[in-house]
Amino acid sequence: MDSQAHEALRLLIAAYEEHLAAVLARRGDSDVAVDDAYDKLADAFDRYEAVLDVEYGETLPMLLDDVELEEPDAEDDDDEDEDDDGLDPHAEEDEDVLDDDLDDFQLR
């Protein structure tokens, strides 16, 4: 008996093929067929990953980006919160605070 993972993988591969066919037959930048194929591919990816997790406790080495990409505004170029290394400025920690936290722990 085939596992659900095999079936989900077959559906994912078919979704990739349908997406490629839609891209090759694209009739403009806003072709609805490409958008629909994209959505079906994202759904098939999510299903495959969910089945892998349930059946085998495995994940895939990639993530889908749920956020639509936008053109950067001119204002964003002068944003002082962004670093050149591309890290989220909200994720940065103050090293002095981290050092103080270490002093609070007595590991001896």
Q: What percent of the chain has pLDDT over 90?
A: 46
pLDDT above 70 for 79: no
| Residue 34 maps to a domain | yes
| Residue 31 maps to a domain | yes
Give residue 19's domain range. Answer: 1-64
| Residue 46 maps to a domain | yes
| Residue 87 maps to a domain | no
Residue 36, pLDDT score: 95
| Residue 13 maps to a domain | yes
Residue 60, pLDDT score: 86
| Residue 57 maps to a domain | yes
Largest CA distance in the chain: 69
| Residue 89 maps to a domain | no
Residue 82, pLDDT score: 47
Looking at the 3D structure of the chain, how many domains does it have? 1
Can you tell me the mean pLDDT for 50-59? Answer: 92
- Return the closest-CA partner of residue 26 out of 15, 38, 9: 38
Q: What is the pTM of this model?
A: 0.57
Confidence band for 69, pLDDT divided at 50, 70 and 90: very low
| Residue 91 maps to a domain | no
Instruction: Give the span between the Cα atoms of 59 and 28, in whole angstroms.
Output: 35
pLDDT above 90 for 42: yes
